[in-house]
Amino acid sequence: MSAYRLGVVVSEAVERLVNLALYLASSRSARSAHECRAAGLGYPEDQDDTTFNRMFERDKDALRSAGLVIDVVEADNSDAYRIDADATFARLIELDSGERASLKAVATAFIEDPGFPFGHELRSAMAKLGTIGEGGPLATAELAHAASASQGLDARAFAEAVQARKRVAFTYTNAAGEEKRREVDPYGVFFREGSWYLVGRDHTVDEVRTFSIARAREIDVNPARPRTPDFERPEDFDVRRAELLPFQFGSRTFTARIRFIPDMAWRADRLARGRGELQTLPDGSVIWTIEAADVNRLASWIVDHGPGVLAVEPPDLVSRILGGLRAVVDVHG
């Protein structure tokens, strides 16, 4: 196994452990191994039961060794698991100089970026680790090309409404330029491709929708009974499942097909993020069929994630990529 692939595997294992810990800690009731497997935490879908059970047992042992107390209860004639928050205490974190430098480099980029709404909390957390002081200048990096300071404030307002489960109202301009007042139960916020997004139930259509926070204005959080929630978020809601890929925002959709060459086929599942359909061909390549809404952003996405990622159809998508590459050659060739 190459060093690069080994790094990917280790990263996937760490991500799965974090997902499992958060899932067990945030669930209102104990969860079975089957529920953990189906929750999209990072367990391979094609695993047989024996392999999954071994991996799940190792993951639980790893969490326990990290200091988390996992209770085992009986539910429906099988074991179920939950994290005992009252009995769980964080161990002392010891960082070497390389780890401190890495943390500081990443945190610095976020802390003073005007589009990041949780800079104060992150600065405080890093100060507790002794990595970044409470004062003093920091080198800055603008993480979000479209995220202004005002968008960061709006994202924070929505995030607080999510936490308090308070209904929000705002004026929203969609991709077609149509403006409408919306009333939404906010379920979660996420950051993607330089912008913040809100996911929630839109009372206008009684459906869960995703909104670009940059397109929202005149935001009002329901002031009535501030300590009383206005709604209950569905227990099975996971904001990661609600995330759209950057080229899926828009009202007019089309079907696209993208090919991963055999050497790059292993990337298909990770980049697809559970969207669309993946088909492995006899030559080892993978065809990804996905619904898209913005042909220009899809073309940019393919170029950004290449080489080895190729547009198959529609023809307009292929021609736009070829036209863009020709333009680059004309300028720099």
Element of type H or E holding 280: strand 277-280
Domains 3-87 and 149-238 share a fold: no
What CATH number does domain 3-87 carry, 1.10.510, 3.30.470, 1.10.3470, 1.10.10?
Answer: 1.10.10
pLDDT value at residue 182: 93
Backbone angles phi and psi of 244, in degrees to 5: -95, 150
- Summarised one tens digit per residue, pLDDT across range 12-56 is 778 888 888 888 888 878 889 988 988 888 888 888 889 999 999
Query: How far, rounded to the nearest angstrom, does the alpha carbon of residue 215 sit from its chain's CA centroid?
Result: 20
Give the other-Cβ count within 10 Å of 89's Cβ: 9
Backbone angles phi and psi of 196, in degrees to 5: -100, 145
Residue 224 DSSP one-character state = S
Domain spans of the chain, in order of start: 3-87, 95-143, 149-238, 254-332
Q: Identify the residue with better confidence: 326 or 205.
A: 205
Using DSSP's 3-state secondary structure scheme, residue 145 falls into coil
- Tell me if the domain spanning 254-332 has CATH number 2.40.50: no
Q: How many helices (H) and strands (E) does the chain have?
A: 10, 12
CATH number corresponding to 149-238: 2.30.30
Alpha helices in 143-294 (DSSP H): 149-164, 239-242, 268-272
> 6: pLDDT confidence band, cut at 50, 70 and 90?
very low
- Summarised one tens digit per residue, pLDDT across range 127-158 is 766 655 444 444 444 444 444 556 667 888 88
- What does R_g of the chain's alpha carbons equal in angstroms? 22
Measure the CA angle with vertex 312, ends 311 and 314; round to 5°. Answer: 95
Mean pLDDT of 201-217: 88
Q: Is the pTM of this model over 0.75?
A: no
90-120 exposure pattern, b = at least 16 Cβ within 10 A, e = fewer: eeeeeeeeeeeeeebeebbbbbbbbbbbebe
